[in-house]
A and B are shown apart, each in its own frame.
Chain A
């Protein structure tokens, strides 16, 4: 889970927007550094607020993993609120359930008021009458965030004060349909057939956005859409946070323009600390990519075309000394245990492939294991109430390709490497 050390570690110089030095966690130091937020009047029921224009022009896409257009989602929430005659809710996703990601914690620790400005802007745009910020139990940023929220409450800066919600640190609790149940005091497990923008918290249309997405909104309100687009690629503009880990000199969170090469991102984290055989991209529900992935450019589509996943911005360098299959086995076992256990293919399927990988990594595969594993990987996706199993299957399938040589060796019963 998130280690507190990351909350104060920002690596390397570069174009810093979200991670601008010296922003501080007080409202005053925040406004001195970034200037005052541009406020927009709250949208009337049945309308979408004026901030929708700069958001749509900016091309901002969600940083929680899916890279969905923020403007499109805000419009859907406002429209669904009009159709249902219900006031919407905004839920900021600061859960950061992915164990290898620390970017949301770093952001909330460094600049909680950017996120809180973003929540206020999002609320005004969709006409929300309630706003929540969800973090997980044991989060290292609890105190900073709670203090920032009460400072704003006392100063009366937000028409709709933010409520801090602390939820169990389960991987799937941060999936959006689980999250909207969690903020209303129910068990945070994914729901089937209830889309948050239609029926979210308290049965109200709910806008769920990652905290980094919201922080970008706070900067777009100040500097405009053109400024935002001055960094990054045309299709996924702006800067983005990446948690770089594994075999690098200085693991931590970096802010880069989208489109930056993977090798540049690695050098921003101090460079490789030993020979790199592969990368874990996107996190435990992402994909392994081979060493040549170093040439790929960091945007959702460009990374996907190189066999990786940007997801929530995780990049882990796997050293040549590590056994990729053992690594995979440990991840799949952990992810299987994180299943909410309510959908058969996820509950039984993930633990079955976890066992297959354990046997394979231990050099104890039976002659049918590989065929069986491939057929299981084909059968599981697209059948759960959420995308948790699909992510695990993608990661497992990528391991069989990227570590194909090791698969051959393990089938003959040898492995001379260990887990990282």
Chain B
């Protein structure tokens, strides 16, 4: 399962970080950083153990920028 954020839609309110801090860090401007890869931090693999939290975060995103597939 993969989590992605569309940076052109994300408003940077950080709701997602509060729901899955294990997967999503925030930068100083409040925008999400997914995973730790350097070349693409708009996507991250979701470990099975936190799949429920990840899905909850995606459905809580007010901009529908965050997706879990």
Interface of A is mostly: loop
Complex alpha-carbon distance, A383 and B38, angstroms: 9
- B residues in contact with A227, CB < 8 Å: none
Complex alpha-carbon distance, A419 and B10, angstroms: 38
Interface size on B, residues (CB 8 A): 19
Is A192's CB under 8 angstroms from B41's CB? Answer: no
Is A345's CB under 8 angstroms from B29's CB? Answer: yes
CB distance from A384 to the nearest CB of B (A): 6
Does any Cβ of A come within 8 Å of B30's Cβ?
Answer: yes
Complex alpha-carbon distance, A142 and B1, angstroms: 49
Is B41's CB under 8 angstroms from A382's CB? Answer: yes
Interface residues of B in 1-18 (CB under 8 A from A): 4, 6-10, 12
Is B38's CB under 8 angstroms from A382's CB? Answer: yes
Is B7's CB under 8 angstroms from A385's CB? Answer: yes
Complex alpha-carbon distance, A345 and B30, angstroms: 9
* Cβ proximity bits B24-62 to A, threshold 8 Å, 1 near / 0 not: 000111110100011111100000000000000000000
- B residues in contact with A344, CB < 8 Å: 7, 10, 12, 27, 29-31
Is B33's CB under 8 angstroms from A192's CB? Answer: no
Complex alpha-carbon distance, A282 and B7, angstroms: 26
Is A349's CB under 8 angstroms from B29's CB? Answer: yes
Is B31's CB under 8 angstroms from A383's CB? Answer: yes
Complex alpha-carbon distance, A297 and B10, angstroms: 42
Is A379's CB under 8 angstroms from B27's CB? Answer: yes
Complex alpha-carbon distance, A382 and B31, angstroms: 13
| Contact (A382, B40) CB under 8 Å given A343-B7, A345-B7 | yes
**Band of interface residues on A:** 20 to 34
Partner of A383, one of B9, B28, B30, B33: B33
Is A383's CB under 8 angstroms from B12's CB? Answer: no
Interface residues of A in 357-387 (CB under 8 A from B): 376, 379-385
- B residues in contact with A352, CB < 8 Å: 28-29
Is A345's CB under 8 angstroms from B39's CB? Answer: no
Residue of A nearest to B25 (CB): A379
Of listed A193, A345, A348, A385, residue having the most chain B CB within 10 A = A345
CB distance from B64 to the nearest CB of A (A): 13
Does any Cβ of B come within 8 Å of A29's Cβ?
Answer: no
CB distance from A393 to the nearest CB of B (A): 11
Is B8's CB under 8 angstroms from A345's CB? Answer: no
Does any Cβ of B come within 8 Å of A191's Cβ?
Answer: yes
Does any Cβ of B come within 8 Å of A420's Cβ?
Answer: no
- B residues in contact with A192, CB < 8 Å: 6-9, 42
A-binding residues in B (CB < 8 A) = 4, 6-10, 12, 27-31, 33, 37-42
A-B contact pairs, 11 of them (CB 8 A): A191-B8, A193-B6, A343-B7, A343-B8, A345-B7, A381-B39, A382-B37, A382-B39, A382-B40, A384-B7, A385-B8
- 3 shortest interchain CB distances as A-B pairs: A344-B31, A343-B7, A348-B29
Known: A344-B29, A385-B6. 10 other contacts (CB 8 A): A191-B8, A193-B6, A344-B27, A346-B7, A348-B29, A348-B31, A349-B27, A380-B27, A382-B37, A385-B8
